[in-house]
Every structure is written in C-alpha cells, then in structure tokens.
Structure 1
C-alpha cells in the first residue's frame, strides 16, 4: 500500500514512531510536577501530551488507561472515537474540524478506565490529533484489550470490538 505523501511528511516533521495500539505518535510534553492519585503511592507527571496520527488502513485498537484522556483535532478527516463506558454503553464521538463538520468536536474526552478505540471516518484519509492525559500517561498503566474477552463481556458491541481488535 502506498503511503499518502502528506502522512509521510507529518511522520518526518514530528518524528512520529509506531504506537503499540496502532498509528504513530511522539510525546511532546511531560510535566515536571509530580502527583499521586488518591489512595495511591505511585507518582505520575501531572500531565502529558502527544501528537497522534492515524492514516488509511490504520486504527487505534481497543485499550484503556488509568487517567482521563483529552483528544484534540489538528488536521485531516474526522476520527470516530468509540468508548465503552463503565456501565457498558457504547458512545461514538466525532473528533474533527467543528467549523467545517457540524457534528464534529475539536475536543473529545475519554474517561479514565474506559475501553476505547479510534478509526478514521474516511478509511482513505488521515488525521493528526493530540492527546493530553492527566495525571500523566505511563505505559505501565496502558492495557490492550483481549478482544475475545471484551466481546464476551459486551456481546451487543461484539462486531465493532472484533473489527477494531488487536492485530496479531
């Protein structure tokens, strides 16, 4: 598959690396301020931020983290961010240029501990986004979903869970 020249340019421009969930990223900020969650001895940076790129044929597979994650839209097409909340309800948010696309938002919040995945609304497009995490992101708290277990737990969402499941 041929990579879009703009995607190649963005990867080079921002020194993006492959992310385990899919897509490309680079960390752009890690706060020097340290915080601990209530009843937790582990300290974290107060906040972290990344650039995150999805391109044609690529998606962010189901995963969850221990902190709230705010997505920010920068460039490209709409990103569908699918979130399964703690009650098992599926919410699909449209991250994109809210001035050009009526049902899109410049920012989308994914609550801590919720399973989520993301894909391009236009499977041939690309999107550059940012993600800000507070307390800060730590790979030790990053969990990729076991697709079979997540589908079994939420059979009403099984088709979507399996479609955006981890590639083996």
Structure 2
C-alpha cells in the first residue's frame, strides 16, 4: 500500500467513519476522571481528564461545523495541510493552517478553545490530511453538537461562505 494514500492510513490505523466527516480512532485516554464540581464547565457526571484520537480527512470530504464543551488540541502528522475553520465565542471567523511548512504560515499545532464552533478541510486537492486531536476534559459524544446551515446563518450571516461550505444542510440521522 502507498503511504501517500489515505486508504493506507485508514487500514493500518484501523480508522472508522466519524459523524462530522472523515475517519477516526481513539488512541489514548486518561486513566483518571474528574467530576463536574472540579471543572469550570458544566458537564453531566464525570469525564476522563483527556482523550486522544487520530483523525483523517480527505480532500473530497469536510469536517462539518461542530462544537465541544472541552478544549481540543490538534497536531499535524502526515499528508497535506489541514485548514481549521473557527467561529469563536465572539462570533469572529478565523482560519488556521495545520501543517509543517512554517514559511507558508502553517503551524504544527492548533488549539480550538471550548465552546468554539469549528470544522476543517484539506488544503490541497486529491489528497488527505492525518492529524491527532487531544480533548481535555475527555471527549464524549454527549458533549458534541453539530449544526445546520440555517442554525448558523441565523446567528452568523456574515460568515455565509464558510457556513455553506462547512455546515450540514440537514444533519444526517
């Protein structure tokens, strides 16, 4: 198998489809938990201190706009650069280029703060990006929120181009 092919990584790493788009596999998680009384964010019950996944996205796919109650730290691993699209809590839209070509403004790590709406897309055509994502407090699907285009356009009409590209028209059932 060709290491420059997404199927190589999907197969070798045992990645599975992710509801936001792309493929993932949980790789590490904390052996310790924390309670909602110990956190500044309101969680139902306890959470692992952190979780970590591989995440692979092809250029023919996107990671749809979503929000977490936790911080998420992204690390570049392989393939093409990845653009992380962010609408922060103040409603400002920003793009971060996750990669290793520092002269082109890429960075090998990106932090997406809790309660930020974000998604991602592969910068180059006909390729893929393999990254790692560490969530703290640990990721749980009950803390994961997807958005429709209409929901986001009602709140952030100034970001119509990004919303039309990165939000679901209808969230898949």
- TM-score with structure 1 setting the length: 0.92
Native 8 Å contact 2:150 2:169 kept in 1: no
- What root-mean-square deviation, in Å, do the aligned CA atoms of Structure 1 and Structure 2 show? 1.7
Mind listing any 5+ residue stretches in structure 2 that lack a counterpart? none
- TM-score with structure 2 setting the length: 0.89
Indicate the larger mover: 5-14 or 77-86. Answer: 5-14
Match in the other structure for 2:119: 117
Match in the other structure for 2:99: 96
Write the distance in 2 (CA, Å) between the matches of 1:112 and 1:131. Answer: 13
Equivalent pairs counted in the alignment come to: 164
Mind listing any 5+ residue stretches in structure 1 that lack a counterpart? none
**One of 134, 152, 155 as aligned partner of 1:153:** 155
Write the distance in 2 (CA, Å) between the matches of 1:132 and 1:5. Answer: 24
Whether 1:107 aligns to 2:109 is yes
Native 8 Å contact 1:27 1:48 kept in 2: yes
Native 8 Å contact 2:33 2:48 kept in 1: yes
Whether 1:81 aligns to 2:84 is yes
Q: Deviations over 1:69-123 (max 9, x none)?
A: 0000000111110110111001100000145x53000000000011001001113
